[in-house]
Structure 1
Amino acid sequence: MPDLSDIGAAVIGTGFIGAVHLSTLRRLGIPIIGVLGSSAARGADRARALGVAKAYGSLDEMLADPTVQVVHVTSPNVAHYPQVRAILAAGKHVICEKPLAMTSAQSAEMLAMARASGKVAAVCYNTRFYPLNQHAHGMMKAGDLGDLRLITGHFHQDWLAKETDWNWRLEAEEGGPLRSVSDIGTHWVDLTNFITGQKPVAVMAELATFIPERQKPLGPVETFTATKGPTETRKIETDDAATILLRYGNGGLGMLSTSQISHGRRGLLSWDISGSKASAAWSAEHPEELWIGHREAPNQVLLRDPSLMNPTGAAAAFMPGGHPEGFADTWAAFFRQVYGDVARGGRGEGSTWATFQDGHHEMLFCDAVLASAARGAWVDVAQG
C-alpha cells in the first residue's frame, strides 16, 4: 500500500457528509490541510468544531494552496459543476459527492475535463465498498451467478417523512429536479451496475410528491436533524418516492423503488439478483450477510469474513470475520483505494471506485426517469 501521509487533502462543505469525509481522512492518516464552508464565518466556526486547523475564505484561496493535492466536494449539488471545473483547472485531484451535477450537460463537460486533466476524479458511491457487495461483484465477474435475468430492490428512508422535515435537497434549485431518485436511487443504480456489469438501457418511471407543502426553517438546519424555530410554508415539486421498471442491455429486467417518506426505514438499501446459474441478495440493514440461492443445492448465507471471500471482497474488508463493519468502513475502503491511486499516479487495474463516467451515466439515467414520468412511457437511457 502506498504511503498516503504525504498527500494533502481539503474538504469543501462542513455538514453531515463533510464531517464523514474528515473523520475518514483522519482514520487513514491523510493530512487535512483545511476546509471551506458556505461562508467564511461558517467555515471558521465549523473548522473549530471539527478540529481542523485551517478554514479557507474562498475556493480560490484553497486552490492556490500548493500543499493541497486532493479536494473533496461535499457541497450542495448546485455547486458541484463550478467547483469541480475550478479544481481540475487548478491541477488538483477531486472526489465529488453524488449526484455529479445538476444536469447531464454539466456532467458531460465535467467528464471531458477530468479525462483531459489526467487527474484522479472519483464520485462518492461508497455503497460499492461494503465488502460483500465487492464480493458479489467478483462472483458475477467470475460467472458464479450466470447472466443477469432479474434484479429487484429499493432504497427507502424516513428522514423526510413529515411536513416539518426540511433539507436543501427538497428544493429543485439546490438539488435538481429529482430528489429521491437522484439522491438515493442513483446509489442503488450505481451499485447494481457495478455488481452485475450491466446498465439499464430503458426505464418506465412514476414519481410521487406525497407532501406538496413543507415548513422551511428560517434559520440553518443540518442534514438528518430536526427543524427548530420559526418556519415558512414552501411548495415542494421534487419526488418523495418513485417506482421504476428497468430493461438491461443483455435482456435482463429490473424493478426499483425509492422513498424518503417510509417511516422506520433509516436507510434500507437492498438488491436481489436472479442469475441464470444462481441468485444472490443483500441489504444494508444486514450488511454482514450475503444470501446465495441455489436450485439443486442448499442455499447459503455468507457472513463477511475475508478468509472466506473472493479477492475482490476481501480487499475491501478491514476486520476479520466476527468483527462487524458498517457505513463508516465503506468510506475508509473507498478513500484508501482512491488515495492509493493518487499516490500511484492513476487508476489501478483492480480499482473499483466510481469514475466520472459512472457519475455521468447516473445523470443520463435521471434524464430518462424524468422523461418517462412526464410521458408515462418507456424511455431509452442515453449512452455517453
Structure 2
Amino acid sequence: MRLIIVGTGSMARHHAKHFAKIRGVKIVGCVDIFPENAAVFAKEFNIPRIFATVEDAIVWGKFDSAANVTTDLAHYPTTMALLTAGKHVLCEKPLATNYAHALEMTETAEKEGLVGMVNLSYRNVPEIHKMHEMVTSGVIGDVKHVEASYLQSWLTGTHWGDWRTESRWLWRLSENHGSKGVIGDVGIHILDFASFGAGTDVTRLFGRLKTFHKAPDDKIGEYTLDANDSFAGTMEFENGAIGVIHASRFATGYANTLRVRVFGDKGALEIQNGSDGTWLRVCKGAKDINSQTWRPVTAKPVPMNYKRFVDAVKARQTLEPSFRRAANLQRILDASFESERLRSELAVAD
C-alpha cells in the first residue's frame, strides 16, 4: 500500500510511526501548507516527496491511500478531494465540523467503493472491546444506566506544554481556527467509547456547553478563545437506558482519563483508561452484587486502527470505526450545540 500523510503536526507523527511498522506499507509522500514543517517531517520519517496541497499530490497520483491528519476544518475539503480522486482515506476525528459534510463524505466513499475509516484512537484499547462483548452477550443483563467522562487538565497545567504560547494548543480553543472545542476534540471520543462499550447508541440528549474566560478580551494574538471548554449531557439510549456523559479540559489532576460505567439489572462493568494504564472490572452474580465486590477482567490485544485500515484497503471492505460511524457521532455533536442553544432536550434523528 502506497500512503501519503496529509498534515505534518504532532498527531501525524503517530500515524507515521505506526504505519512504518506495518509490512507492505510505504509512506511515499506528505502534504503541508507550511513547507518548513513538511521538510522536517519528511526528513524524520524518510519520506521521499513533499507537496504543498492535496491537489498537488493528486496530480502526481502515485499513491492509493491517505492518512488525513489536518485540522478539523480541513477534513471535509481534503477528504472529498481524495475520495473524488479514488483514494482510500483514514481521517482523524471528528470526520467533519457538521453532519451534512460528514454524511456527504460517508456516502461518497460508499458510492465509490472506497475505504473510509476514522481514527477513533480509543478503539485501540482491548478492554473496551471486551466490555462491548460482555454487555452485548448479556453478562450484566439489560442496561439501565451509563455514566461516562473524559477528563483533561491542560488548561490548568503545563504537562503537555503551555497553551498560552503554543499554537498547537491555541487553535483548539478557537472556532475561527476550525475547533469545535472540547465536544469535537475529546467529546467525540467519549461518546464513541461509552456507546460502543455499552452496546447501544444515543437517541436523545440534553447538552450543555461552556466556554470559560481564559485571557484578557478572550484573545491571544490572532486566536479568539471562543470554543467550548466543558461539556455535560444527559442521554437516552436506543435500548431505553439513560445516562450522563461529560468532558472537560479543566479537570485538574487528570492529564487524560476516560471512564465508562455500565449498569445492568444483572451486574455492572467499569472501565478506566488513562496515563497510568487501563483496567476493566465487573460486578455480577448474586454473591458479588450483594457484597458489592468487583473483580478484574482481562482482555486480549486487538489490531490498532492503522492496521485495520491497511487490512480494509487490501480487502476493499471498510472496517470499524467507519465514516458511517463517525457521521452518526457528528450528528450527536451537532445536536449538542443545538441543545445548548435551545436549552432543551433533542432527539438524535435516524
Matches within 5 A, 1:357-376: 357-376=324-343
TM-score under structure 2 normalisation? 0.89
- 1:271 matched residue in structure 2: 260
Q: Are positions 1:197 and 2:199 aligned together?
A: yes
Post-superposition shift, 1:19?
0.5
Could you say what the CA RMSD is over the residues aligned between the two structures, in angstroms?
A: 2.2
User: In the TM superposition, what whole-angstrom CA distance separates every residue of 1:312-346 from its partner, at most 9, and x where no partner exists?
Assistant: xx350xxxxxxxxxxxxxxx622112211211121
- 2:38 matched residue in structure 1: 43
- Please, which of 167, 175, 196 is the counterpart of residue 170 of structure 2? 167
User: In the TM superposition, what whole-angstrom CA distance separates every residue of 1:333-373 from its partner, at most 9, and x where no partner exists?
Assistant: 221122112111213xxx5x211111111111011111111
Q: Are positions 1:334 and 2:305 aligned together?
A: yes
- 2:282 matched residue in structure 1: 292
Q: Are positions 1:355 and 2:322 aligned together?
A: yes
5+ long unaligned stretches in structure 2: 158-162
Matches within 5 A, 1:72-91: 72-91=67-86
- 2:228 matched residue in structure 1: 239
Q: In the aligned structure 2, how far is the partner of 1:27 from the partner of 1:342?
A: 17
Secondary structure of 1:204's aligned partner: strand
Q: In the aligned structure 2, how far is the partner of 1:134 from the partner of 1:113?
A: 29
Q: Are positions 1:28 and 2:43 aligned together?
A: no
Q: Which residue identity lines up with residue 267 of structure 1 in the other structure?
A: N
Going from structure 1 to structure 2, the CA distance change for 1:232 and 1:174 (only over 3 Å counts) comes to closer
**Mapped contact 2:68–2:91 kept (Cα < 8 A):** yes
Secondary structure of 2:250's aligned partner: coil
Post-superposition shift, 1:234?
4.7
**Mapped contact 1:132–1:287 kept (Cα < 8 A):** no
Matches within 5 A, 1:176-187: 176=179, 178-187=180-189
Secondary structure of 1:152's aligned partner: strand
Going from structure 1 to structure 2, the CA distance change for 1:216 and 1:371 (only over 3 Å counts) comes to closer
**Mapped contact 1:288–1:303 kept (Cα < 8 A):** no
Going from structure 1 to structure 2, the CA distance change for 1:360 and 1:180 (only over 3 Å counts) comes to same
- Of all paired residues, the percent bearing the same amino acid is 22
- Please, which of 38, 46, 52 is the counterpart of residue 47 of structure 2? 52
- 1:137 matched residue in structure 2: 132
Post-superposition shift, 1:180?
0.8
Q: Are positions 1:256 and 2:259 aligned together?
A: no
Q: Which residue identity lines up with residue 282 of structure 2 in the other structure?
A: I
Post-superposition shift, 1:174?
2.6
Matches within 5 A, 1:123-134: 123-134=118-129
Q: In the aligned structure 2, how far is the partner of 1:341 from the partner of 1:46?
A: 26
Q: In the aligned structure 1, how far is the partner of 2:234 from the partner of 2:241?
A: 11
- Please, which of 297, 318, 343 is the counterpart of residue 314 of structure 2? 343
Going from structure 1 to structure 2, the CA distance change for 1:164 and 1:216 (only over 3 Å counts) comes to farther
Secondary structure of 1:261's aligned partner: coil
**Mapped contact 1:14–1:46 kept (Cα < 8 A):** yes
Q: Number of matched residues?
A: 336
Q: Which residue identity lines up with residue 208 of structure 2 in the other structure?
A: E
Q: Which residue identity lines up with residue 7 of structure 2 in the other structure?
A: G
User: In the TM superposition, what whole-angstrom CA distance separates every residue of 1:120-147 from its partner, at most 9, and x where no partner exists?
Assistant: 1001112022011111111122222222
**Mapped contact 2:173–2:224 kept (Cα < 8 A):** no
Q: Which residue identity lines up with residue 343 of structure 1 in the other structure?
A: K
Q: In the aligned structure 2, how far is the partner of 1:338 from the partner of 1:192?
A: 22
Q: In the aligned structure 2, how far is the partner of 1:148 from the partner of 1:214?
A: 46
**Mapped contact 1:216–1:233 kept (Cα < 8 A):** no
**Mapped contact 1:242–1:257 kept (Cα < 8 A):** yes
Post-superposition shift, 1:109?
1.1
Q: Which is further off, 279-288 or 131-140? A: 279-288
Q: In the aligned structure 1, how far is the partner of 2:63 from the partner of 2:140?
A: 43
Post-superposition shift, 1:67?
3.6
Q: In the aligned structure 2, how far is the partner of 1:75 from the partner of 1:342?
A: 21
Going from structure 1 to structure 2, the CA distance change for 1:234 and 1:150 (only over 3 Å counts) comes to same
Q: Are positions 1:302 and 2:296 aligned together?
A: yes
Post-superposition shift, 1:72?
0.5
